[in-house]
Amino acid sequence: MADDQIVIGASLPLSGPLAGFGKFQQWGYQTAVDEVNKAGGIAIDGKKRMVKLVVRDDKSDPNTAASNTESLISRDHSVAVLGSCTPALVNAGALVAERAKVPMVTGCDPLGAFTSVKKWKYVWDLFFAEPDTAQATIQTILSYNLNTNKKIAILHDNGPDGQVVGGVIWPKAAADAGFEIVQQASFPVDNTQFTSIVAEAKAKGADIVVVDAITPQAVSIRKQMGSAGYKPKVLVIEKGAEPLQFAQALGALSDGVLVGGYWDPSFPYPGAKDLAARFEAETKLTSSQHIADSYTAAQVLLDAIAAASSLDRPKINEAIAKTDKIYVVGPVKFDAAHTAKLPLVELQWQSGKTVVVWPKDHATGTILFPLP
């Protein structure tokens, strides 16, 4: 019966420009729930209960993410919730959960963007830290001794993470490593025309271009670079180049594009290889790293409910705080800021799939250089 179910909710971008993330997240969340139910559910006060996952589409809109989270709590009676994707969506829902004192576990929110909002009490984030994205690319260039003129153009959106990564972290990391920043340009998150900033990067002779933008913009920038005949030796596209949707939209133009990665099926963690194989067998699609952080976030929450053996939200929250376990993404143990940092590698799109190219001892393929 419904009254015997444990309801958890999630607001996800299943439509709109971020849908390339949400559909992978939904699979990860649902897979974790299905596994628990297949094993008999979770014991609450000595009685086994099935878990029900309620998912609402936030349409890639922060206001909808907030209202969805409110509905998941008040209307669907979720005992706890799981997060959306990107800082704008995750943080919007997280603020609602925090005010309601409802536990939330999320991935897909870079740690600096998460901790900059407030000191959290009920919301927990497992993901990568923004400074590591810049270092991963720089160390890739240095470790392979890639032959460039060290001129770098930085193009980023004016969203919360774009401003931090493109406006602060990348310029500092590049300057510290001895690169010459010849261009630093920002643009609105709904911009569609990039011909002028692409032309400027080409005119200034930047061998290295770093972009931080959501997927539709990332695709447009890459296409417009091709149309302009601009072929830097190194092209890094953070955020927008993560989902499979990026490579599908570009075909061969995605080859050689670098992006920071926090998970790959080759990682030496329990279930990593199997998780990707299961996704591809079930969906007939190429896997994405977002199946891993979402699957883990749901597992962390479900483990905490089981450990609390209660639907009391403060008790569940206390159990989340005590998380200390190796999951498919690696060790998860939250710090005082409610974050668990995942290590970054550098991925590169090659023939429609990502391969790990850095660190060298984790590489699953040979780096393409210069950009094809």
Six-digit token string for 342: 């995942």
How many Å apart are CA 76 and CA 78, to the nearest integer?
A: 6
Contacts of 4 by beta carbon, 8 Å cutoff, 6+ apart = 47, 49, 50
Task: Name which of 258, 50, 293 is nearest 146 in CA terms.
Answer: 258
CA angle 43, 46, 49 (to 5 degrees): 35
Six-digit token string for 301: 């929450």
Helix pair 313-321, 290-308: axis angle to 10 deg: 120
Long-range CB contacts (within 8 A, 24+) of 277-285: 278/31, 279/27, 279/31, 282/27, 283/27, 285/244
Looking at residue 1, its pLDDT comes to: 36
CA distances from 241 to 67, 195, 257 (A): 28, 19, 8
Q: Are 247 and 254 in contact (CB under 8 A)?
A: yes
| Residues of the chain where predicted confidence (pLDDT) is lower than 50 | 1
Contacts of 98 by beta carbon, 8 Å cutoff, 6+ apart = 104, 118, 120, 121, 122, 123
Looking at residue 2, its pLDDT comes to: 53
Looking at residue 286, its pLDDT comes to: 86
Looking at residue 213, its pLDDT comes to: 95
Looking at residue 159, its pLDDT comes to: 86
Strand partners, 235: 209
Looking at residue 35, its pLDDT comes to: 98
Task: Name which of 88, 91, 74 is nearest 9 in CA terms.
Answer: 74
Q: What would the DSSP string read from start to end of 155-187?
A: EEESSHHHHHIIIIIHHHHHHHTT-EEEEEEEE
Strand partners, 151: 180
Looking at residue 160, its pLDDT comes to: 82
